[in-house]
Structure 1
Amino acid sequence: MRGGVSLRYGVLVLLAVMVLVPFAGIVLAALHPSGAQLDGLSIPDRWSWETFALAWERGNFTNLMRSSVLIAVFVVPLAVVMATLAGYGLAVLRVWGHRTLSFAFVMGLTLPIEVIVVALYFNLREVGLTDSYVGVILAEAALFMPFGVYWMQTHFSNVPEELIEAARIDGARDLVVLARVLLPISWPAVTTLSVLYFMWSWNQFMLVLVMMQDPDRRTAPSGLGLFVGQYTTDIPLLAAACLIVIAPIVVVYLVFQRSFVSGITQGAIKG
């Protein structure tokens, strides 16, 4: 028994080291002066915080971060609301054709963005939604639907039917059941889905690169791709730019850590 516990902890420690060591290397590299030559993990002789300011200025991250925040702020609530309503309709209301629709959403999980991005570009161009925040927001919300609907449908399927029936006996209609009965006990699942949507929206690269032709309106990850091409040999500057891009994700995860882990654990136990 003790050997099994020690083995599990050993594996967890090994995985943590495999994740944290490269991250520590990026942080240490970013603290070197711009243009410094690095060889593996090295502690800087002088901590150079100016590298972050220089990366922010040269990478035009003021506009890029604004675009990323704007898109994520609209994508997350829009996609979460639609996924919640669809999951409720399929799992609880069991609308006509719910089995076929559920299968279609599951199949949507296997559809990579690379397959549809070109066709999506031409379709949105016909309605004037390329090089537009609205086009990117709608496209991302639609692309995130398969997982969100599957996630919320699975969650609602595990809610005791007696709870829903009791609310209906009291005269509650469908939307009241969802808003006042199911959502209060579904916040871990909703929060987890929101955090995942934020991470996916923030990290979206190819879709924004294709849809947005104006460099000032692209998001931070897509701007980082161009930044890497310009400053390939300046490792400290590249490391600082990478940390700037991933910082919002780390902050969001730390803020919602308990709800996120609770939602993941709840889904794992119920699944």
Structure 2
Amino acid sequence: MKSALIARYLVLTLMAVAVLLPFVSIVLAALHPAGAQISGLRIPETWSWSNFAEAWDKANFSHLVLSSLIIAAGVVPLALVLATLAGYSLATLDPLGGRPISVAFVLGLTLPIELVVVALYFDLNQVGLTNSYTGVILAETALFMPFGVYWMQTHFAAVPRELLEAARVDGARSFAILVRILLPISWPAVTTLGVLYFMWSWNQFLLVIVLMQDPNRRTAPAGLGFFVGQYSTDIPLLSAASLIVIGPIVVLYLLFQRNFVSGLTQGAVKG
């Protein structure tokens, strides 16, 4: 038993090192003087914190980060509300055609964005929604919906039917059951989905590049792509810019770490 526990902790330690080692190497590279040649995990002789300010100015992150936040602030709540309502309906209300609709959402998980992005551009262009935050928000919401509906439907389907029937016997309507009974016990699942939505929206690259022609209204990852093309040989500057882009996701995960882990594992502990 003790050897098995030691082996388990050893495997987890090795996995943690494998995950953290690339991040540590990027941090160390970002702290070297700009233009320095870097090899391996070499600790800088001079700690150059100015790389972050220089990367922020040269990549125009003031506009790009704001644009990313605006898009994520529109996508996350809209997608969460729609996915929750759809998942609740499909899992508990037995709507007409619910089974084919559920299958369609699952099949939507296999649809790559590369397959539809060109057609999506022309469709949104006809209604004047290209080069606008609204168009990107609606497109990303639709793109994320299959996973969100599947996630929430699976969660609500695991709730005991007796709980729902008792609420209906007491006279609660469907919307009241969702708001007053299911959502309070579904906070880990909703929070986890919200973190995933924010991460996917923040990291979205191809869709933003195609739909947003104004460089100042593109997102931080899209701006980083152009920044890499301009400063491909300046590793410290590129590392600093990369850390600026991934920073919000790391902070968000640390803030919601408990709920995120609980939401991912809640289905595995049900008897």
TM bucket normalised to smaller: over 0.9
Q: How does 1:11-90 map to 2 (within 5 A)?
A: 11-90=11-90
SS at match of 2:16: helix
SS at match of 1:43: coil
Structure 2 Cα separation of the partners of residues 110 and 233 of structure 1: 37
User: Identity, % of aligned pairs?
Assistant: 70
Which residue does the alignment assign to 1:181? 181
Structure 2 Cα separation of the partners of residues 79 and 55 of structure 1: 32
2:155 equivalent to 1:152 = no
Structure 2 Cα separation of the partners of residues 238 and 230 of structure 1: 10
Between 151-160 and 15-24, the greater mean CA deviation after superposition? 15-24
Structure 1 Cα separation of the partners of residues 211 and 6 of structure 2: 50
Q: How does 1:110-121 map to 2 (within 5 A)?
A: 110-121=110-121
Q: Deviations over 1:73-114 (max 9, x none)?
A: 110000000000000000011111110000000000011111
Q: How does 1:204-243 map to 2 (within 5 A)?
A: 204-243=204-243
Question: How far off is 1:16 after superposition?
Answer: 1.1
Which residue does the alignment assign to 2:136? 136
Task: Please tell me the root mean square deviation across aligned C-alpha atoms, in Å.
Answer: 1.1
Structure 2 Cα separation of the partners of residues 151 and 205 of structure 1: 24
Aligned residue identity for 1:205: F
Structure 1 Cα separation of the partners of residues 4 and 198 of structure 2: 37
Which residue does the alignment assign to 1:161? 161
Q: Which ranges of structure 2 fall in alignment gaps of 5 or more residues? A: none
Question: How far off is 1:11 after superposition?
Answer: 1.7
Question: How far off is 1:270 after superposition?
Answer: 4.6
SS at match of 1:37: coil
Aligned residue identity for 2:42: S
Which residue does the alignment assign to 1:203? 203
SS at match of 2:232: coil
Structure 2 Cα separation of the partners of residues 193 and 97 of structure 1: 25
Structure 1 Cα separation of the partners of residues 260 and 96 of structure 2: 33
Q: Deviations over 1:144-168 (max 9, x none)?
A: 0000000000000010111111111
Structure 2 Cα separation of the partners of residues 258 and 119 of structure 1: 40
Aligned residue identity for 2:212: M
Which residue does the alignment assign to 2:96? 96
